[in-house]
A and B are shown apart, each in its own frame.
Chain A
Amino acid sequence: MSTSTLPQNKDAVTYTLDAKLVSNIEKLADQFPDKHSAILPALHIIQDEFNWIPPESVNQLCDILDTTPNKIYSVLTFYTMFHTKPVGKYHIQVCRNVSCSLMGASNLIEHLTQKLNIQPGETTPDGKFTLSLVECLGACGNAPVMMLNDRYHENLTADKIDDILKSLE
């Protein structure tokens, strides 16, 4: 899944993990027979914090887990849930697989592109919304389905989408 073209504001924010996060990742690593098993869970923790995986945090993770940026990037670029660039504050991911297609996903995708005035894979200029198309979310019985950040929204209709977007204004 390709994500945003949002300009990175490198001056304003620091993307380093604070002591608490570092300690959380260290504790996490201790529970595994091999601490490299903590790479995926640690990347989830980092993304929960920053909404993406900033390079600075990868360097820190290498120190904690005794590995190299090459190794971490080979892993994180394999998994579509991890973002190597910032995404919008609200990341909308719409399923376009077969069951959702049968239940009208393409109309909803069209509706969202018009509402947000962006194409799938893009972020709104204000950095608020990113729209992505994804493959099966495992909720086919309640199709069509989308994710808004961590949350599932099932049995979607255009009206429901309007209500959801309104609640985010």
Chain B
Amino acid sequence: MTEKKSPKIVMDSNGIERCLTRIAYEILEKNKGMDNLVLVGIRTGGIYLAERLQKKISAIEGREIPLGILDITLYRDDIAKSKKKAPLGKTNIPFDLTEKKVILVDDVLFTGRTIRAAMDALIDFGRPKMIQLAVLIDRGHRELPIRADYVGKNLPSSLWEAVSVNFLEKSGRDEVVIEEET
């Protein structure tokens, strides 16, 4: 048995801030402004990121971009296998998605299964013109044919490592941490 390595901080609050600023500009550049653009954050990490992207995009464009919250628990593909249930959070998408360009926001892109569930959920809300994906970290190991349109940082990782994003709102500080799975 090798000794367990201590958690390593791979991105600090300044790093996260710069990534989000860049992604905000990239979103506006790719979509030529914010017409018909909406943000949807995936519970829970994606909400914090989506809120910050909302502030940045709204500040750049001078008007508010709509923001929705999505809980994907009910769309998971492993829900029937486990008696244990993730606490079900509220979904709140207070606008029609039909013909909208949806920027789906999550913290870490890993197997792609969460994103598959999120896309199924979004389509139940209407027929978006387009769905794009923005993530802070892409750690690889995809199990489905899914890729992100906007990536904060590509972080090659091993399957036995855990990548977590801590947020000021929840943990008291912003940082991306990589550690060996316990």
A, B assembled together: no
Where the two chains meet, the residues of A that have a C-beta atom closer than 8 Å to any C-beta of B are none
